[in-house]
């Protein structure tokens, strides 16, 4: 299984165009019909958005004269997988620790 991640390059693209303050982007977006508050633009520039409307993406691309692929660079990583469990909720490997954080039933050995 693979997980898809992405790198958000808005701050770098702005710097490449001589824009170093997040407030530089507010009028450019407003000219393209995107009304965002200065705090929303700050979060857009300094963070990595989880969701982004296509209207905002198109306005950013137009304002910065770039393509969506310049703003968003996807990459994949190998995802870790949990050990498979049998029907009773026990691990196939009886010595493996539980991944669910539940205690295991003690085993009593008599000599």
Distance CA 2, CA 20 (A): 35
Whether residue 103 is contained in a domain is answered as no
Residue 40 vs residue 111, higher pLDDT: 40
CATH of the domain at 38: 1.10.260
Mean local confidence (pLDDT), 21-39: 96
> Secondary structure of the chain in the HEC alphabet?
CEEEEEEECHHHHHHHCCCCCHHHHHHHHHHCCCCCCHHHHHHHHHCCCCCCCHHHHHHHHHHHCCCHHHHEEEEEEECCCCCCECCCCCECCCCCCCCCCCCCCCCCCCC
Q: Tell me, yes or no, whether 54 lies in a domain.
A: yes
Total tally of structural domains belonging to the chain: 1
Is it the case that residue 103 has pLDDT exceeding 90?
Answer: no
Query: Is residue 58 in a domain?
Result: yes
Q: Which domain holds residue 17?
A: 2-78
| Residue 90 vs residue 40, higher pLDDT | 40
In a domain, 101, yes or no: no
- Predicted model pTM: 0.68
What confidence tens digit (pLDDT) does each residue in 42-81 have?
999 999 999 999 999 999 999 999 999 999 999 999 877 6
The reply to whether 104 falls in a domain is no
- Give the per-residue pLDDT at 10: 97
């Amino acid at each position: 299984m693979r997980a898809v991640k992405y790198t958000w390059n808005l701050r770098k693209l702005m710097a490449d165009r001589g824009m170093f303050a997040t407030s530089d982007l507010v009028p450019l977006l407003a000219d393209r019909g995107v009304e965002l508050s200065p705090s929303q633009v700050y979060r857009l520039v300094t963070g990595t958005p989880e969701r982004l409307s296509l209207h905002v993406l198109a306005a950013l691309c137009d304002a910065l004269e770039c393509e969506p692929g310049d703003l968003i660079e996807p990459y994949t990583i190998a995802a870790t997988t949990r050990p498979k469990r049998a029907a009773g909720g026990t691990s196939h490997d009886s010595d493996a620790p539980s991944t669910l954080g539940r205690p295991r039933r003690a085993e009593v050995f008599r000599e």
